[in-house]
Every structure is written in structure tokens, then in C-alpha cells.
Structure 1
Amino acid sequence: METADALLDERALSKLKWRCRRGLLENDLLIERFFRGHEATLTVRQAKGLNDLMDLSDNDLLDLLLKRKDAGQLPDEAAKASASTSEAHEVLKLLQPAAPAP
């Protein structure tokens, strides 16, 4: 059995990338940037968080990524539950674009 901190193997990473394909270009761009920066160090725990976020609608996901809403403000209970896991919070911080410098 894998531990949560174990690195994701190549097959699991490939499946995760396929699962993360979205209908909104903005989501796809942020997810692609995430994979470019983190795929070599992606853990089983982070993959679970990413899968939790992929259960969201495209618009809900974009609202979280752009910090327009937090998980508690999502419209339905299933979305709130998916976005509220500790794993989802961890990955969301990595997915969100950095704030522009003043």
C-alpha cells in the first residue's frame, strides 16, 4: 500500500493528467502550469487533492483558482465537500496563480 507522501508513479501521473482535462481554457492553462512545476514531485496525497478538485464544475473550479470564492461559498454540498478536503486545500494553493507584484 502506498503512503500519502509517496511520489506518484508514471502510470498514475498519466491517468491524473487525463482526468484533469477541463472544458474551460483558463482552467487548463492553470492546471498545465501546475504540472510543469510539480509533476516530478507530485505525491499520492496531492493527486487525491487534485482528484477532489476535478469533481467540481469548471466554473466552480475557476472561482477557486482565481480566489473569487472559497470552498464554503460553493453552491452545493457535494462541491463544498470536494473542495474542503485538506488535500484539495494543499493542491489549490499550488494551483492558484501568484498575486501580481504591486
Structure 2
Amino acid sequence: MTDMPTFDERLARAKFRAWHRGTREADYMIGGFFDRYSSQWDEQALGWFEDLLAEDDVDVMAWALKTAPVPERFQGEQIVKMQALDYVDIPR
């Protein structure tokens, strides 16, 4: 029987996955979102983000940029925060 990962272990795994998406743009958008909001998350919010991480970056970015409709399962306060894009700090 395998032990279930703790909330902190899941959070650490989500942070790594958020910042290692494969493109710089996705890293800034998804990783920046994680950095800005993850300290406020409960189990449900972390579960939402883990599900989001399973989606293709192109889709997640399109939802955040409002160029594609957000699937019902991702609609709500979290995606609205992501769509604000006020958390993206682009190094110059």
C-alpha cells in the first residue's frame, strides 16, 4: 500500500510542474500564477490546479488569454484570477 502524498508534497510537485512546462511563455504564465496564489490554496484549489497542469499548455494559455472558451470543469474564481494576468512578471 502506497502512502498518499501530503498537501505540501503535492504543492511542491505542482510548483515544479508549473515552472517546467516546456516554453518560457507557459512557465511565466502558469508558474507565475502558482507563485502568486498557491499560498492561499486549500485542497480543492490545489486539485483544480493539478487538473489544469494535466492539460496542454496551448489550451491553458488560450483560456488565460480568453482566446478560447474555458471548459466548464475549469470555470470559476481560479480561472478568473489566471485571466487577469496581473501576476506575470516578465524579466527584461
TM-score range, shorter chain: 0.5 to 0.7
Q: Report whether the alignment pairs 1:92 with 2:79.
A: yes
In 2: Cα distance, 1:26 partner to 1:19 partner: 14
How many percent of aligned residue pairs carry the same amino acid?
22
Q: Report whether the alignment pairs 1:15 with 2:1.
A: no
CA positional deviation for 1:65: 1.2
Structure 2 residue aligned with 1:4: none
In 2: Cα distance, 1:53 partner to 1:12 partner: 14
Q: How does 1:21-100 map to 2 (within 5 A)?
A: 21-71=20-70, 83-85=71-73, 88-90=74-76, 91-96=78-83, 97-98=85-86
CA positional deviation for 1:55: 2.1
Q: TM-score, normalised by structure 2?
A: 0.68
Report if aligned partners of 1:22, 1:58 keep a CA contact under 8 Å in 2: yes
Letter in 2 for 1:93: V
> Runs of 5+ in structure 1 lacking a partner?
1-7, 72-82
Q: TM-score, normalised by structure 1?
A: 0.62
> Runs of 5+ in structure 2 lacking a partner?
1-5, 87-92
